[in-house]
């Protein structure tokens, strides 16, 4: 059993981004990422801090916009519009979830598709579907990069994704399909979940429920990818997979923390670099 080291792979990705950023800066272009945070959700604050730190590390300019919980939809959209028009900002990210009363979809659609480094805009989602894209969504793309780093082939494998959210489950299924996996996507209406998951060569858990995937749901020798960022009964960070009991059945498994999370941030850096290139007429 190998524990996939997401920290290590993400450090390699960020190192490469840093090298390419230096080259870009020498041409007078400094990639810029704008991060919008509305309200004071503590988990969102941690994610935003991690993204800012990563920007510093790779040499980007990052600008944070902390808006109060009481921000109106119009105020938020007008900030997005301003950022869309700023040449020094190449990527715009609005940390989700938004406080109640704000329309997430409207905000996602307001971000210019060229600056949509999360790849949530429907134009980018459509392009991913047909395999002709500039940006991939950070979490699923980060998972694919981890698989590549460990030479885990998807081709012909039975891949099961638990979860069908727009930001993780659905695009995850699509990326596995692009690499010739045979993909099943499960959700809360799925019947006989255990039967389906225990047939998976590659199992991705994106459920949002602590230790949801138990050892009896996993095939011997499976690759298990844990997207979950949950809290256990003691308030400690854990994943969607019961790591201690599942790990010995796996060929590969990702830990929480130190697995998928760092990869998500690394892909965000890649996307922002690409956005800066494209907006400046470079490939």
Binding site for ligand NAP (CB under 6 A): 139, 162-165, 167-169, 186-190, 193, 206-209, 227-230, 260-261, 264
**169: which DSSP letter?**
H
Least distance (Å) between residue 196 CB and ligand NAP: 10
Measured from the CB atom, is 250 or 267 closer to ligand NAP? 267
Q: Which among 104, 117, 15, 93 is positioned nearest to 58, based on CA atoms?
A: 15
Measured from the CB atom, is 71 or 264 closer to ligand NAP? 264
- Of the candidates 14, 95, 115, 249, the residue annotated as catalytic is 95
Measured from the CB atom, is 104 or 244 closer to ligand NAP? 104
Measured from the CB atom, is 51 or 277 closer to ligand NAP? 51
Sequence length of the chain is 283
Provide the CB-side half-sphere exposure for 256 (13 A, CA).
26
Q: 16 catalytic, yes or no?
A: no
- Of the candidates 115, 116, 118, 211, the residue annotated as catalytic is 118
Q: 8 catalytic, yes or no?
A: no
Least distance (Å) between residue 91 CB and ligand NAP: 17
| CB within 8 Å of 33: residues ≥ 6 apart | 51, 55, 60, 61, 62, 63, 89, 90, 91, 92, 93, 117, 268, 272
Q: Which among 166, 169, 208 is positioned nearest to 185, based on CA atoms?
A: 169
Which residue numbers are catalytic? 51, 95, 118
């Amino acid at each position: 059993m190998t524990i996939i080291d997401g920290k290590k792979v993400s450090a390699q990705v960020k190192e490469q981004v840093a090298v390419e950023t230096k080259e870009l800066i020498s041409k007078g272009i400094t990639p810029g990422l704008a991060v919008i945070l509305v309200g004071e959700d503590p988990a969102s604050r941690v994610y935003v801090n991690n993204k800012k730190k990563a920007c510093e590390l790779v040499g980007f300019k990052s600008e944070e916009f902390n808006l109060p919980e009481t921000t109106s939809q119009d105020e938020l959209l007008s900030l997005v519009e301003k950022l869309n028009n700023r040449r020094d900002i190449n990527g715009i990210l609005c940390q989700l979830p938004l406080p109640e009363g704000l329309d997430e979809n409207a905000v996602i659609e307001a971000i210019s598709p060229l600056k949509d480094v999360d790849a949530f805009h429907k134009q980018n989602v459509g392009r991913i579907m047909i395999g002709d894209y500039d940006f991939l969504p950070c979490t699923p793309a980060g998972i694919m990069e981890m698989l590549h780093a460990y030479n885990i082939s998807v081709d012909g494998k039975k891949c099961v994704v638990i979860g069908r959210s727009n930001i993780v489950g659905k695009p995850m299924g699509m990326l596995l399909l692009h690499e010739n996996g045979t993909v099943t996507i499960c959700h809360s209406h799925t019947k006989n979940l255990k039967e389906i998951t225990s047939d998976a060569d590659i199992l991705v858990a994106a459920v949002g429920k602590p230790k949801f995937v138990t050892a009896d749901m996993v095939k011997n020798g499976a690759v298990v990818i844990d997207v979950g960022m949950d809290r256990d009964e003691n308030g400690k960070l854990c994943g969607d997979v019961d790591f201690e009991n599942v790990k010995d059945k796996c060929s590969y498994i990702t830990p929480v923390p130190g697995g998928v999370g760092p990869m998500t941030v690394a892909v965000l850096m890649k996307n922002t670099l690409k956005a800066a290139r494209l907006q400046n007429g470079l490939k």
